[in-house]
Amino acid sequence: MSADTNSLRGADIVARSLERLGCKQVFTLSGNHIMSIFDAALEAKLDLVHVRHEAAAVHMADAWGRLTGQAGIAMVTGGPGHANAVGALYTALGAESPMVLLSGHAATWELGRGGFQEIRQADMAAPVTKASWTATSAATLGRDIGEAIRIATSGRPGPVHLSLPSDLLEERVESNAIVWPNGRGASPAPALTTPVADAVLAAIAAAARPIIFAPPQLSNMSGRALLGRLEAALRAPAVILESPRGIADATLGAFSDLVRRADLLVLLGKALDFTTRWASGPAFDPAVQVIAIDPEAALVDRAAKEMNGRLVLGGIADIRAAAETLIVRSATAKTRNDRWLTEARAALDNRPAAWATVASKTSGRLHPAEVFRALRPYVERDPDTVLICDGGEFAQWGQSMLPVRRRLINGVAGSIGSSLSFALSARLLEPRAPVFAVLGDGTIGFHLSEFETAVRRKLPFVAILGNDALWNAESQIQLREYGKDRMHGCELMPARYDLVVAALGGHGEFVENAADLPGAIERALESHKPACINIMIESIAAPVIRLG
């Protein structure tokens, strides 16, 4: 940086704005357009976590946003770097994760002239973000950074994209002309008014079998704690719908049976969408009524349209604040007895007794239930353990059988491949407790090279890899929809991913027998390295739980 102390480069404004806003962890992959920011990061003391694929940087920022509630920051170069990153934004959008993607960009004077790596980046990212734009002034880069973070953390959280033209990053701006971020945090949605809160409580009290549907943004520890207090105060079950399987999520036990009997659904920030099956069809009582409380008026309106007269109440409000208001107002409201809540909790916690003893019928292969029976004591022994479950049939067994504490899943988007990146963010945030990433052999192929990142950055975690040499979720579709004789094209090799991880400097274990798994887990944890336990498993469909 120049010795001229009366001016700063645009790159220095970006780096110092991130520092001012407390965003000192930046997940990034280098490239021509952003090397000036790499340089500026030295003075700003930003920690650049340099990854092996741009999508991994987005996944790491996504995990940071989910676990902390604060904006995670990803930074990539322009053109193909930006294009590689955009697909991962869809996962963050579905998970309602606050994060910002900063992308380098062709210089402003090159635009429309066939500049190096020139593409319409903001247009490309717009469908998978809350907001997407390209900076137009070096002086206001700081304000742009602050605005991106504000939008990402306001209302329904989600990803935001900002492109940074390279000439603006190199341009020098006089100190008195710089527009720094104003420090404003998230813009709160309106508060839930007392009359609306009391009307919601009255409707819940009058219902025989109410259920509260909560959104992915409440899946972190603070959100789960809030929902626990809300459930206790209202004596109505509160569930988070954060999986692409929606009401059939294995985490929720026999929830499908429970929902069929509900007479009132309270959408507390949960969009009426495919995960809720639009509260219609054979999964629901045709007379079920709905209450929608949401920070976005458009989603309340959509619920009213979808329900066609069965939306009994709608309100625009910040979700966490609304929950707190309902808890406070419930102290003086009519109370319910605990019969329905007790019954609902029993269904949500229901797991088939057979799971305690089911074993593989194939020599050299484990049943998924055997894997997670062995893993459960290690997840339970530390309350700060982070569990990551990534897509597929194997991970669904993990979601169902392992207790929910600090957990990340692939999310409503239904994409796979994020778990290894999630694990690195989780380890940066959690320096002591175990971090487990559950994934399949199809999933690991997306970002296997991030084990090198983990080794380089000394970020130990344990990958629990279910290896059936198959894209099993898709094979199950073929089996179910087209028949056994039309299963093809989804085969993989029974590859030794454990050896690959060891070659990258991590720790590898190979398991073919259930009796060997506890020892492998112990050794992986004691290695204090990024570890992969490659477990040969049977190809088993995801669990389906029913009452009775």
Q: What is the pLDDT of residues 149-196, one digit of tens each?
A: 999 999 999 999 999 999 999 999 999 999 999 877 777 778 899 999
Dist CA 149 CA 14 (whole Å): 13
Given this chain, do its domains 7-177 and 194-348 carry the same CATH topology? Answer: yes
Q: What is the pLDDT of residues 19-28, one digit of tens each?
A: 999 999 999 9
Q: What pLDDT is attached to residue 185?
A: 74
**Closest listed residue to residue 548, CA positions, set 241, 260, 209, 336:** 260
CATH architecture of the domain formed by 194-348: 3-Layer(aba) Sandwich (3.40)
Q: What pLDDT is attached to residue 548?
A: 59
Q: What is the pLDDT of residues 496-536, one digit of tens each?
A: 999 999 999 999 999 999 999 999 999 999 999 999 999 99
Structure token digits, residue 395: 């991970």
Dist CA 193 CA 216 (whole Å): 24
7-177: CATH topology = Rossmann fold (3.40.50)
Give the start-to-end residue ranges of the domains of the chain: 7-177, 194-348, 353-536
Antiparallel, parallel or unpaired: β 131-134 and 159-165: parallel
Backbone φ and ψ for 476, nearest 5 degrees, come out as: -65, -35
Q: What is the pLDDT of residues 73-112, one digit of tens each?
A: 999 999 999 999 999 999 999 999 999 999 999 998 888 8
Query: Is the distance from CB of 366 to CB of 535 less than 8 angstroms?
Result: yes
Residue 4 has pLDDT above 70, yes or no: no
Class of domain 353-536 as given by CATH: alpha beta
Mean pLDDT of 289-297: 96
Mean pLDDT of 193-218: 96
Query: Rounded to the nearest 5 degrees, what angle is found at the Cα of 23, between the Cα atoms of 17 and 29?
Result: 95
Structure token digits, residue 92: 């963050």
